[in-house]
Every structure is written in C-alpha cells, then in structure tokens.
Amino acid sequence: MQKPPIVICSKNQKCLPVLLKSVELYVPEDVEIYICGSDYKLPKHKTRNFEHTYDKGGKAWNFITNKAFEDYPEAVACADDVVLNPSSYQDLIADVELIKQVDDKIGSVAARTNYAKGLQNIRYGQGNLVGLNYEGENQIIQTDYIAGIFNWVSKHTWEDCAPIDWYSDDIWCMNQIAKGHNLYIARAYIHHVGSQTYGTNYKQCSDESKDWLKENRPDLYKRWFNA
C-alpha cells in the first residue's frame, strides 16, 4: 500500500531541524517528504523542496498539500514545530485504516498533542489516570474540531484552507462538518512546541484575520468579534 507523504510548511525554520531529525529516525524510509520553505534534504527519505513565498499560513498549506495531491490520494500535514514519537506516523495511519472500515466520509484524523485546544490536548485528561496516561488517550474519538498540527487528510474530502493565519483551522473544520465529513482524534501522539511562527500575542493574531472574516465570513465575524 502506498504510504501517505508528510507535507511540511516552515516560515522561519526555528524548529524544523529537530522535526526533520525525528522524521529521519522514526518515519518509514519509503514515506516521501514535501517541504515548503527549506531546501533541506533528508538523508534517507525522498524529499521534495519548494520555496515559501506566501504571506499567510493558509495559502502555504494549500500550496504544499495540493502539490502532494498531484502524486498521492492522501497526505499527512505536519507543522514545523513538532517532534514525532517513534510510532507517531505509524499509529496515525493505523488508526486511519481502522476508521476507514466504518466511515467513508472522513475529513481528517489528527494526532493528540500537548499544545492544542479542545479534546486533542492530552491535558484534558479524559477518564482515569492509568500509569502515566489518561484512559481517553487510548481511544479514537470523533470531534468537531482538530488543529492541523499532525493530521491525515484525503484528496477526496480536502478543501483549501482560508487564506489567513488565525481561525483557518476553525473554518476548515466547520466547512468539513457542513459537508457531512467527520473529524477524528487518533491515539497517535506528537509533541508540539507551539506559537513559533505567529507568536503569543493572541489578540494581534486574531485581529490580523478580522478584515478577511468581515468580508468573506460575516457570520463568523459577528460570532467571534461580537460585531
């Protein structure tokens, strides 16, 4: 079976070397890697490199994901500030295959992490603590939101992200559900450093998307900005 490639966007490359080292060590060597924003070549994995010329994250993700879809029906989108576990990729793909047995309308399947909002964050602590993990971490769950940090996507159900930074994940998930596609959180785990591209001035990040939302999604503009 053809393994889905990993697609990565990097604007400042601050955390990229550590991510790519974890890919080199932990991801099967026949998985192709697409990188937007760096000319780094992995020593064992086939690597395709593309220039990052985009002012917004949504635009960059659309570019690199659609590049992968020229060659593959599926892909794994990976933020540049994560570190994989030895089984992150394998566990994610294994859970995707399990879900496919019962659902033919999968929008996306995302790994759990330490830095994301919603149930995807292991700090939510679902169930009892067993050893060093909560019971919920060993379950595949359906949800209404995932952060695009390390997540499987399909050409069949893909739609381009909003051409903004903040809120693009929210809008993408809402659109998927509106089309009857389902979102899942897998048992796979990745470490996410977080806020390495856009920083931690969350008000500024939010405000930078205001104009686009007001013009293109006035319904969400009213909801999120009480306007």
Report the alpha-carbon distance of residue 89 to residue 151 in Å, rounded: 10
Report the alpha-carbon distance of residue 36 to residue 5 in Å, rounded: 13
Comparing 48-52, 152-156, 200-204, 223-227, which segment has the lowest mean pLDDT?
Answer: 200-204
Would you say residue 68 lies in a domain?
A: yes
Share of the chain above pLDDT 70, in %: 96
Is 225 in a helix, a strand, or coil? helix
Would you say residue 143 lies in a domain?
A: yes
- Give Cβ neighbours of residue 185 (< 8 Å, ≥ 6 apart): 109, 110, 111, 112, 119, 120, 140, 141, 143, 146
Would you say residue 51 lies in a domain?
A: yes
The pLDDT, as a whole number, for residue 195 is 64
Q: What is the mean pLDDT of the chain?
A: 91
pLDDT per position as a tens digit, 7-24: 999 987 889 999 999 999
Asked if pLDDT for residue 72 goes beyond 80, the answer is yes
The pLDDT, as a whole number, for residue 138 is 87
Would you say residue 33 lies in a domain?
A: yes
Report the alpha-carbon distance of residue 65 to residue 63 in Å, rounded: 6
**Which of 2, 6, 4 has the alpha carbon at shortest distance from 42?**
6
Would you say residue 172 lies in a domain?
A: yes
Would you say residue 225 lies in a domain?
A: no
Task: Grade residue 218 by pLDDT with cuts at 50, 70 and 90.
Answer: very high
Place of tokens 């909801």: 223
The pLDDT, as a whole number, for residue 227 is 63
Would you say residue 218 lies in a domain?
A: no
pLDDT per position as a tens digit, 182-195: 999 999 999 999 76
Domain range for 29: 6-198
The pLDDT, as a whole number, for residue 56 is 78
Question: How many structural domains are present in the chain?
Answer: 1
CATH number at residue 57: 3.90.550.10
Would you say residue 26 lies in a domain?
A: yes
Asked if pLDDT for residue 69 goes beyond 60, the answer is yes
pLDDT per position as a tens digit, 125-136: 777 777 777 777
The pLDDT, as a whole number, for residue 89 is 98
The pLDDT, as a whole number, for residue 35 is 96
The pLDDT, as a whole number, for residue 115 is 87
Return the DSSP state at 89: H
Asked if pLDDT for residue 114 goes beyond 90, the answer is yes
The pLDDT, as a whole number, for residue 199 is 57
pLDDT per position as a tens digit, 91-112: 999 999 999 999 999 999 999 9
C-alpha separations of 103 from 45, 118, 119, 151, 181 in Å: 31, 22, 20, 17, 9
Report the alpha-carbon distance of residue 193 to residue 82 in Å, rounded: 6
Asked if pLDDT for residue 151 goes beyond 80, the answer is yes
